[in-house]
Each structure stands twice: as structure tokens, then as C-alpha cells.
Structure 1
């Protein structure tokens, strides 16, 4: 028993050291073995052994040595751009999308298709998403290590969709068995969009990310980590009541934020089918409602930055400035809360979904 325990402990140490070496490459590629040894405190022999294992697993790539310097030139290491890839799938109320990212998080292929899922069972959207997934995998030409699915609803810690008011037939859905053949994880799209802001746009370590679409969701980042709440239910900003006497919401409540600031509500109020044609009074009403909901969240969480994503960057500086003004009026403990427009566009959640697959591969080589 003692001997088998020693082997297990040794295996744990090796896995830890593999992740340590891989992390050094992620942080500073291209980097030499000698530099990795100096930074980690591991011996050069140990580093070389670990590097060989990572090369064999297809996670690292060894570059040609630079010529012209003194001494024996080193062969620098970088992540293998042809190594295991991540597949992301996004299910929205009115579309599906898929993308493949390589080990660096760079998008290698992406596709999007209109598809109405308001009253359809999960299989309809997932069948369409599977078609897109095949197309992007073929285009990328990489071996996919797993798939992550972004959905506009509450996802429990077990990956089951707990509730999705705008996709009522998705409640209780377990996406994994519907996408056979690859390891599958499922996550809330606003949470993933918040991670995209953190990973790909140098987002602040403490922020509230607001994802505007048919619904309105939020991702909370505290101390550089996603805060999901005890059961994965944090961030349901769209169902914060901003007008108790307001219109009915699909969640069963009245006067929810998304009934004023969601995409369908904005288009109805503006009597248009074009977000770019919304009149000023509609944008002002949306900003007031966002200000009410966001002020409560900022007062509770004490975050210094709010990032407006999804459809909101398309609505422009006028919306951002109006939301900022409302927060200045309502937030009691901060003299100024920064309000930013996301630079990632509507594809942030999709990219982050795919990136979660490769990040897990890098953390657990």
C-alpha cells in the first residue's frame, strides 16, 4: 500500500511539473529549456525530460535555433499551432455558431447560421450546430480535444441547463449526450463572454460584463476569476425588475430589464427591425433601465468597471455615456464607475467556449 501511494504521489508531482513547464511556455513563448529551468527551479535534465513528453503529446513545438550568437544555440519552444484544438458551439435564441481555436487561443475557423429556437427542443439547435461544427473542424484541419457549448440560460455546476426563459424547452437539458463523440462541457454565454474579455481584451480583474441580446445576461469577474455563485446561477441581470408595473417577461415576472433593454424589446419600442435605426428616446429608456439594474449590482459587488457587450457596442457611445451617467447618479460608494464598450463584438462567448477546452488541456497536460 505504501509503495502504490508513493507511485501515485510521484505521478502527481510529474503532472504538476508538466503543467509548470507548459505554463512557462504559455507565458513567455518562444522560450528555451534553460530559461524554463531557471524560472521554475527544476534541473535542466528534468526540464528536458518533461519537454520531450510534451513534444510527444503534440502540445509543444521546437523551433530552429537562432544562429550567430556565442556558444551552442538553443532551440526555443512554443505551443504547437497544429496541436490539440478546442471546439466552441454557441446556441442563441435566433442563431447557432461554431468555431475552432488552436492551443494559443487563435481562431482557426468559424461559422454562424440563423436558426430560430424559441419554442424548439434542444435537438433542433444542436443538430444545426453539429453541421457547423463539422464544417469548421474540416476547415481548421486540427484534431479537436473537446467541445464547450455556450447557452443563454442558467447552467448548474453539473452542466445541466437549469433554466433558460427564452428557450423554455431547454430546462433540464443535458447537452453532453446530444453531442456524442467528444468530451462536452456547457456554460452560460454571458459567463463565457466575461472570460473572453479577461483573456483576449486585457479586461480588468474586477468587472461586471453585460451581454445584450434577446435576453440580457451578466458575467461577474472578481480577482481575475469568474464568479458563478453557489449553484452557477449568478449573473441573471436580465431578470432584475426595473419596473414592477412593466410588461410580462418569459421568466414569469413583470418589468424585467430585458423587457426594456433586450434586443427584441428595443426593436419593438423603436418600431423597427434595424438596431442602427433606434430613436434616441428608446436608447435613453434602455440606459435608464440598465442604470437601475447595474447600480444595484455595483453597489452590491463593488466592481470598478462595467463592460457592455453583445449588441450594446453596436448601439454606440451614446448608450455607453448614458449608462455611465445613470451609474454616477445611483452608485453610492464610488465616485466614478468606468463603463466600457467591449471590443470583441458578439463572438466573444463563442471564442471563449472553444478556448476553455484548450486552457484545460494546458492546465492538465
Structure 2
């Protein structure tokens, strides 16, 4: 539901930024990437005014990304299949593409407040994604697809999901599902709307968020029992709704996990996590190998 670009300098400060809101679901990827490219060029031009030049481009996408680091294999909420972003984005910059939940988890690892090195990071906007960090490293899985928590079924006979399955977590705790359950229409600032209505004791909204927290807790129980993380971190849109999600989520975890209850924390980065994680991944690559960047300059 939006495109965003930011430039981060070597000190980690955001020096330029551009955002375009609007639905991208079902659109051909070429015009979407064309609009993204225009935002990239605007941010590069703004950064150039401050004497900065781009060292690389990292792109966070809501979908499965191949290990080649540039092909979107499947993005259900965009309806994209096997899209090579490397062929559509401007040439000349080192490019990396990754799942937005992965970049969100890396941002939490690098920029979060006292975040452990072993945690499960859950983020949400339209869809729900997760990333597993073990000893400070992403657990990617054999094909690089680990972390698709949003498509874990919580009710196998539930409604059909965009992924093709039934009763997926996204159908109960995704942004659109919560709005629908609360009787509210979709809009750009859906999280802000839900938070305001819940804060004003809107019974339907609070009930919808309680049920979403329950569904999250059911899905997370399987991951916690399987992986035994040190903690669960709520990021993305979930961070802004934590006061109403956490009670039922934590109750499910407490009732269903085999060991002591896994602590749940809320990311201070919120929806900015994937954007910051992508930008900081470029910065860290520069700091890890400055000689290569100097050669390109």
C-alpha cells in the first residue's frame, strides 16, 4: 500500500526520504517499479545536494525472494510471480532484494534497544511476516523462504487466502482482516484509525484486536515450541496496536507453550523497520568492505 525510499549515511542518519501512498495490489510490476525508481532518483538527487553519493540499493518486498538476491518468487498480496527486480531497477548500483520481515529483523538487531541475539521478529501491514534470528544471523531456510508466519493456518477450514491456502493467520490478524472484523473501511492510516477507535473504547474494534491477538498467539505458539527463541519482538503495524493485541496473544503463548512463557516485546522502530533495515544493510556492507566501495567511486 505504499512505496518508500530513504538514504542513510555512514553514521546511520537518514539524510533524504520520499514516500508514495497508494495501492499496488494486482498492478503490473513494471509501472510500480517505475514509480519506485522515480523515488530513488529523487532521494539520490536530494542526497547529492548534501555531497553524498549512493553506495548501493537494497529493496524490501512483501514476498518470497530467491537466493539470487533480486528475484521475487511470489508476493501474494501483490500477486507477483517470478519478477526479476534486477532487470527492472536502474543499473549501476549493487542491488540486494530481501523479504521485508528479514530487513525488519535486521533493523531490530542493529538498531533496537537491548535486543537479544536470538529472537523471533513478527511484523505486519497488509500481510504478516516473520524472521528468525539465531546468534545474530538470519535463519533463511533451504530456499531462503523461512518466516512465512502469515500463511501458517490457525483454522484449517477458514477462508481462502491469497496464497491459495485456507485459514491462514493473515485472514485473522492482517490489517485488512482486522478492519473488516471491526466494521471499518480500509484507508491509508489504518493502524492509526484502529488505535484511535480502540483508545476510545470502541467495543467492535477492541474485540477485533483481541481476536487478532488470539490468532497471533496460536500461530506463534508453534514457532516458539519449535525454535525456543529468547524472545518475540512485535514490529511493523503490530507495534502500534500492541496495547490491545498483547493480552490475548500472551495468554495464548502462556497456555500453549511447553516451557516457561516466552517474553514478548514491542519494537520502537515500528513500521520503519523494513525501510531502515534495507538502508542500513547497504551501510554495513560499506563498513565491512570499504576498499571495494572506494574502487567503484
Q: Taking structure 1 as the reference length, what is the TM-score of the superposition?
A: 0.72
Q: Give the 5 Å matches for 1:111-190.
A: 111-141=18-48, 142-159=52-69, 160-168=71-79, 170-181=80-91, 182-190=93-101
Unmatched tracts of structure 1, length 5 or more: 1-93
Give matches, 1:1-365, under 5 Å. 94-141=1-48, 142-159=52-69, 160-168=71-79, 170-181=80-91, 182-201=93-112, 202-273=114-185, 274-276=193-195, 277=197, 279-333=205-259, 335-365=260-290
**Does the Cα contact within 8 Å between 2:154 and 2:218 map onto a contact in 1?**
yes
Question: Which residue is 1:9 aligned to?
Answer: none
RMSD: 1.2
Q: Structure 2: 5+ residue runs without aligned partners? A: 186-192, 199-204, 291-297
Q: Distance in 1 between matches of 2:207 and 2:15?
A: 41
Per the TM alignment, residue 275 of structure 1 is displaced from its structure 2 partner at its CA by 2.0
CA shift at 1:235, angstroms? 0.1
CA deviation digits over 1:10-51, x for unaligned, max 9?
A: xxxxxxxxxxxxxxxxxxxxxxxxxxxxxxxxxxxxxxxxxx
Residues 284-323 of structure 1: per-residue CA shift (max 9 Å, x gap): 1111110110000000001021111111121132312321
Following superposition, the deviation at residue 96 of structure 1 comes to 0.3
My pick for the range that moved more, 95-104 or 121-130, is 121-130
Asked if structure 1 preserves the Cα contact closer than 8 Å seen for 2:153 and 2:169, the reply is yes
Decide whether the 8 Å contact of 1:237 with 1:257 is kept in 2.
yes
Contact 1:313 1:341 in 2 (8 A): yes
What CA distance in whole angstroms lies between the structure 1 residues aligned with 2:44 and 2:119? 33
**Alpha-carbon distance between aligned partners in 1 of 2:256 and 2:31, rounded to the nearest angstrom:** 43
Max Rg structure: 1
Greater mean alpha carbon deviation, residues 101-110 or residues 273-282: 273-282
2: CA distance between counterparts of 1:320 and 1:108? 34
| d(CA) in 2 for partners of 1:316, 1:232 | 29
Give the structure, 1 or 2, with the largest relative contact order (CA under 8 Å, sep 6 or more): 2
Q: What is the distance in 1 between the residues matched to 2:74 and 2:36?
A: 20
Distance 1:321 1:342 in 2: 17
